[in-house]
Amino acid sequence: MLMAATVDERLAQAFVELADTLVAGYDLMEFLQTLTDRCVKLLEVDAAGLLLADSRGVLRVVAASTEQARVVELFQIQNDEGPCLDCYRTGQAVIVSDIRSDRAGERWPRFAAAAREMGYAGVHAIPMRLRDQVIGTLNLFKVVPDGLNPAVVVAATALVDVATIGILQERAVHQQEVVAAQLQVALNSRVIIEQAKGVLAERLRLSPDEAFVLLRRYARDHNHPLTELSGDVIRGTARISGGR
Amino acid sequence: MAGERTAQVWAWIAAAREGNAPVSLAMLCLAAAGWLGVDGASVTAVGGPAVSEPLSATDELAARLEELLFTTGEGPGVEGPGVEDFRFGSPVLIPDLAPVTARWPGFAPAAMAAGARALFAFPLQAGAIRAGVLSLYRAEPGPLTPQQLADALVFADIALQLLLDSHAGISASADYRPLDGLSDSRAEVYQATGMISVQLGVSLEEALVRLRAHAFAISTPLDDVADDVVSRTLRFHPDSDPDPDLNPQT
């Protein structure tokens, strides 16, 4: 099982790196962003998105390995139909090795067409669970038609568990209301980042995607938590340059 | 489906309407008290870090609690447990005030003496925009059920929309519909809000007010207007004209 060993090794590395991020006062958005980036490398997929369910049961993207608007849309449109919604509702992983198949097309006609148009074939959704509650899903897209081998499913599940720990922090997670409150914080933090992308994009004449790349690079280079930096950008107290 | 809960909560609020009167925050508070298993509700606007303005309260006790928060500088969402998360959009839920009297020596005993035992505060918030707070109280201790909590978050979302739209002079008359959860909005709505705030040199809150007002004025879905702003086919101009010019890019 050469493949499994490789995945294990890389998984161990990713955990060390993520554990380093989970220090006191860590920035949740940076953490989840790093996690989706690692998913792409570790799970050998082309795009990864983490979606959390809000109080209405709407799945919302909180972090993605790409900010490309059309890919983010592809995560998000699964609120109508798609592997993510099925995964969220059933609490079971949904592995679709080829979304272009007739069966997938019949099951999710609109999502399958959109995914195909974007050039994706493999589409997988892993549930984020907290005991009997499903709080979100990890969505993985692959260009080549392919399932997920068992070692990769184990790795993906482990990463999703780490994401859950990161979101709920050290809180007494047996309380339902604490879970709801922490999810609200995560979802709202994402909105702050989107607002900051808009502010920066307009100031520097960039697209929101480009603004995000700049924002994230600045956060890393200056060791500045991403959510806090976004707040500073909105208030006009962070001076980020580097437009076109 | 997701939209059903918003529609249900909106129906509860609209049912509190008398005749053809526009839906107000007062009706929202009444409906919240009636459907969330609490005894009273209030909405307060937040104008800055220390300024808050009571907008509506179902009863004297609800109003008195707001006053106590202000005068003591303690209490849910003001200081103490959960206040950090509150600033990031999370509700503060206090199912029983009795165990937290030491934490809030000024607020808690006074609130209990006034007749409140459980308090729940929901920020009216969208990202960095903090427009106010929806507060609920109950005379008996005990948590909100998961269903009541989920519904309360929807109430808060609609309260934020009513508040923002009232700033733009849009009244919630018969044909008014809240969006299916302001917080469900696509990322583009928030990106556009950020862009407009720079175009107009105004706060994010004001930018979102203008964006929504424009969408209402031209009867176009908010998402579509936001897409036009992000793709730079629509710009807002800082003049007295409430409607932006259209600059189609050819």
Taking contacts as CB-CB distances below 8 angstroms, the residues of chain B near A53 are: none
Structural domains of chain A sorted by starting position, each given as residue range(s) with its CATH number in brackets: 2-170 (3.30.450.40), 172-244 (1.10.10.10)
Distances B127 to A62, A188, B86, B161, B205 between C-alpha atoms, Å = 13, 5, 12, 14, 10
Find the DSSP H helices in A48-91: 69-76, 83-90
Taking contacts as CB-CB distances below 8 angstroms, the residues of chain B near A189 are: 88-89
Long-range contacts of A127-130 (CB under 8 A, 24+ apart): A127/A87, A127/A88, A127/A91, A127/A92, A127/A93, A127/A160, A128/A50, A128/A52, A128/A160, A128/A163, A128/A164, A129/A91, A129/A160, A129/A164, A130/A164, A130/A168, A130/A173, A130/A179
B195 and A198 within 8 Å at the Cβ level: the answer is yes
Alpha carbon distance A35, A25 (integer Å): 17
For residue A1, pLDDT over 70 is answered with: no
pLDDT per position as a tens digit, B93-134? 999 999 999 999 999 999 999 999 999 999 999 999 999 999
For residue A244, pLDDT over 70 is answered with: no
Beta partners for A137?
Answer: A51, A127
ipTM over 0.95: no
CA torsion angle for A92, A93, A96, A97 (degrees, to 10)?
Answer: -140
Model pLDDT, residue B179:
64
Model pLDDT, residue B49:
47
For residue A240, pLDDT over 90 is answered with: no
Give the minimum alpha-carbon distance from A184 to chain B in angstroms, rounded to a whole number: 5
Residue of B87, B119, B183 to mutate when probing chain A, most A C-beta within 10 A: B183
pLDDT per position as a tens digit, A133-184? 899 999 999 999 988 888 888 899 999 998 988 888 755 555 667 788 888 8
Q: How many CA atoms lie within 13 A of A111 on its CB side?
A: 27
Close Cβ partners of A209 (under 8 Å, ≥ 6 residues apart): A67, A68, A69
Task: Give kind and range of the element (H or E) at residue A7.
Answer: helix A2-21
Among B146, B184, B188, beta carbon nearest to A176: B146
Model pLDDT, residue B132:
92
For residue A205, pLDDT over 70 is answered with: yes
CA torsion angle for B219, B225, B228, B229 (degrees, to 10)?
Answer: 130
Alpha carbon distance A225, B98 (integer Å): 37
Distances B82 to A75, A184, B75, B94, B159 between C-alpha atoms, Å = 31, 13, 10, 10, 21
Taking contacts as CB-CB distances below 8 angstroms, the residues of chain B near A76 are: 186
Name the stretches of chain B with pLDDT < 70.
Answer: 1-3, 47-52, 174-175, 177-185, 240-250
> What pTM was computed for the model?
0.88
Task: Give kind and range of the element (H or E) at residue A134.
Answer: strand A133-142
Close Cβ partners of B192 (under 8 Å, ≥ 6 residues apart): A198, B211, B225, B226, B227, B229, B230
Model pLDDT, residue B250:
33
Taking contacts as CB-CB distances below 8 angstroms, the residues of chain A near B187 are: 61, 69, 72, 194, 208
- Statement: B185-250 belongs to CATH 1.10.10: yes
Q: What number is the average pLDDT over the span A74-97?
A: 92
Asked whether A39 and A18 are in contact (CB, 8 A), the reply is no
Confidence grade of residue A243 (pLDDT, cut at 50, 70, 90): low
Phi, psi of B46, deg, nearest 5: -110, 115
pLDDT per position as a tens digit, B152-176? 999 999 999 999 888 887 777 766 7
Among B91, B186, B197, beta carbon nearest to A184: B91
Taking contacts as CB-CB distances below 8 angstroms, the residues of chain B near A201 are: 191, 194-195
Structure tokens, A234: 């909105």
Taking contacts as CB-CB distances below 8 angstroms, the residues of chain B near A180 are: 91, 146, 149-150, 153
CA torsion angle for A30, A34, A37, A42 (degrees, to 10)?
Answer: -160
CATH topology match: B2-167 vs B185-250 = no
For chain B, the three-class secondary structure string (H helix, E strand, C coil) is CHHHHHHHHHHHHHHCCCCCCCECHHHHHHHHHHHCCCCEEEEEEECCCCCEEEEEECCHHHHHHHHHHHHHCCECCCECCCHHHHHCCCCEEECCCHHHCCCCCCHHHHHHHHCCCEEEEEEEEECCEEEEEEEEEECCCCCCCHHHHHHHHHHHHHHHHHHHHHHCCCCECCCCCCCCCHHHCCHHHHHHHHHHHHHHCCCHHHHHHHHHHHHHHCCCCHHHHHHHHHCCCECCCCCCCCCCCECCCC
Distances A224 to A217, B44, B62, B71 between C-alpha atoms, Å = 10, 33, 41, 36
Residue of B6, B88, B148, B158 to mutate when probing chain A, most A C-beta within 10 A: B88
For residue A131, pLDDT over 70 is answered with: yes
pLDDT averaged over chain A?
A: 88
Model pLDDT, residue A114:
94
Taking contacts as CB-CB distances below 8 angstroms, the residues of chain B near A72 are: 187
Asked whether B134 and B160 are in contact (CB, 8 A), the reply is no
3-state SS class at A61: strand
Neighbour-count burial of A12, counting CB atoms closer than 10 A to its CB (0-12 exposed, 13-18 middle, 19+ buried): exposed
B128 and A192 within 8 Å at the Cβ level: the answer is yes
Range name among A22-26, A35-39, B15-19 with the lowest pLDDT average: A22-26
Give the minimum alpha-carbon distance from A24 to chain B in angstroms, rounded to a whole number: 14
CATH superfamily of B2-167: GAF domain (3.30.450.40)
Alpha carbon distance B163, B43 (integer Å): 10
Phi, psi of B116, deg, nearest 5: -105, 140
Closest residue of chain B to A230, computed from CA coordinates:
B128
For residue A28, pLDDT over 70 is answered with: yes
Model pLDDT, residue B77:
83
Q: What residue ranges do the domains of chain B occupy?
A: 2-167, 185-250
B204 and A195 within 8 Å at the Cβ level: the answer is yes
Residue of A93 and B175 predicted with greater confidence? A93
Phi, psi of A71, deg, nearest 5: -70, -40
Interface of chain B toward chain A, CB-CB under 8 angstroms: 2, 5-6, 82, 85, 88-91, 93, 125-129, 143-144, 146, 149-150, 153-154, 181, 183-184, 186-188, 190-199, 204, 230
